Chain A
């Protein structure tokens, strides 16, 4: 029996058309195309309902609303929370306005972020590091003291380093959606807003360890892995076990024979689809606990395997447009340097 397919929408992003299901966000449509035209996302997380819209790094320009109503949207929109319309045309890296705005968002995200990458466990797999490398400028114009908080342990396995937090709210969604009875949240407001339990209390729940995996920066880190190794010296291997609580589908991070840490399996956008339980994450650190599947597929240019970043491969329209070349100046310069 033929199932009637919903009519697909055609959306064009940076001149590249793609057909997607109605209800798809611009960001996910771009991910279907892949490559440099995919907007960066610091707060959106496809497996966490309601996430997105906050960090503003994925802003894009809708230059044509739809076939029916071709008017452009008056402001840049968050591509993670704006759904495509049939005939929509979107500009990401082909819009100087977008690149300009993105650069400024990166600057904003960094003004209060500590420059402690050399001692941060997240270094090498930090999305903010990638973002600032790929979209930021090299010098800060911020000349004031950075906002600081005390470092606290929320539970015996998770450390909260609020100075590094960019308030993406992902960990709050994890606690809401994966655990019963959220125990931490966002306190206060404005630039005083902070992730906290408010009172001294261990956050305790079978699935709370997933806050570590969803954190785009080094604000929530695994205490059992603390200072054990830089991630690029570890070898990730996919493994599974028969776990009564979760899917048991994990990545083991080896250094030599030793499993230094266990995480959920992340896709190319750094998202975990099968969240894992705390037992798998914190308590199963012997190879004998696991059935090994295969070495984790990493982008061959990932910092974890190759120790350097992706190079920027400009789409033809940029090569032929001096204005866009200027807007993509930093990206192009890095490609030159890395050659």
Chain B
């Protein structure tokens, strides 16, 4: 299926390219493809998602075929192949978190934001999705927000309210 609906033409800054080069240097000569995952993280951090154009340019930087990048980016769950909200709330939905109320929290977030899983709020600020085990089972329910992947643990409805208003505040202040 041809899944690309939207594209974003990018121009990697000199600074970003310098980080790419540093990452490549961690791997042996000729094994620059190893840098693909970390570089895609940097791209997503910069643009909020990974567009086809960005992937093509990463491929060219690493001297690999574009399809090798598409294959990888679509395999892993952390790379967004379409735009998300500025804050993408990722709630752990796996067993142990569900024992302590993760499903309730997801429903609460859905109602509060008024958007379904994977959709973006009208103001472009928020989206949310359930993710699989976040390896924080003792502190559930938990959610994480990229690109820093800060964790918010032992969630309650009140904590979600507080988090969302803090994030809104943060945007207003900048």
A and B touch in the complex (CB under 8 A): yes
Interface residues of A (CB under 8 A from B): 149-150, 152, 162, 181-189, 194, 196-200
Proximity bits, B34-60, A CB within 8 Å = 1, else 0: 000000000000000000100000000
Contact A189 B75 (CB under 8 A): yes
Known: A150-B1, A183-B65. A199 touches B75 (CB 8 A): no
Known: A181-B65, A184-B67, A185-B68. A196 touches B75 (CB 8 A): no
Contact A196 B65 (CB under 8 A): no
Q: Choose among B2, B52, B68 the residue that contacts A196 (Cβ–Cβ < 8 A).
A: B2
Contact A182 B74 (CB under 8 A): no
Point out the residues of chain B lying under 8 angstroms from A189, CB to CB.
74-75
Q: Chain A interface mostly helix, strand, loop or mixed?
A: loop
Determine the distance from Cα of A189 to Cα of B77 in the docked complex, in whole angstroms.
10
Point out the residues of chain A lying under 8 angstroms from B70, CB to CB.
185, 187, 198-199
In the assembled complex, B9 has its CB within 8 A of some CB on chain A: no
Interface residues of B (CB under 8 A from A): 1-4, 52, 65, 67-68, 70-71, 74-75
Known: A181-B65, A182-B65, A199-B52. A152 touches B2 (CB 8 A): yes
Determine the distance from Cα of A97 to Cα of B67 in the docked complex, in whole angstroms.
40
Q: Choose among B3, B4, B52, B71 the residue that contacts A185 (Cβ–Cβ < 8 A).
A: B71
Point out the residues of chain B lying under 8 angstroms from A188, CB to CB.
74-75
Extra contacts, 20 of them, besides A188-B75, A198-B2 (Cβ < 8 A), are A149-B1, A150-B2, A152-B2, A182-B65, A183-B67, A185-B67, A185-B68, A185-B70, A185-B71, A187-B74, A196-B1, A196-B2, A196-B3, A197-B67, A198-B3, A198-B67, A198-B70, A198-B74, A199-B2, A200-B2
Instruction: Give 5 closest A-B pairs by Cβ, nearest first.
Output: A198-B70, A187-B74, A185-B71, A185-B67, A188-B74
Give B86 Cβ to nearest chain A Cβ, in Å. 26
Contact B71 A186 (CB under 8 A): yes
Q: Choose among B1, B4, B65, B75 the residue that contacts A152 (Cβ–Cβ < 8 A).
A: B1
Q: List 28 A-B contacts (CB under 8 A).
A: A150-B1, A150-B2, A152-B2, A162-B1, A181-B65, A182-B68, A183-B65, A183-B67, A185-B71, A187-B71, A187-B74, A187-B75, A188-B74, A188-B75, A189-B74, A189-B75, A194-B1, A196-B1, A196-B2, A197-B2, A197-B67, A198-B2, A198-B3, A198-B67, A198-B71, A198-B74, A199-B2, A199-B4
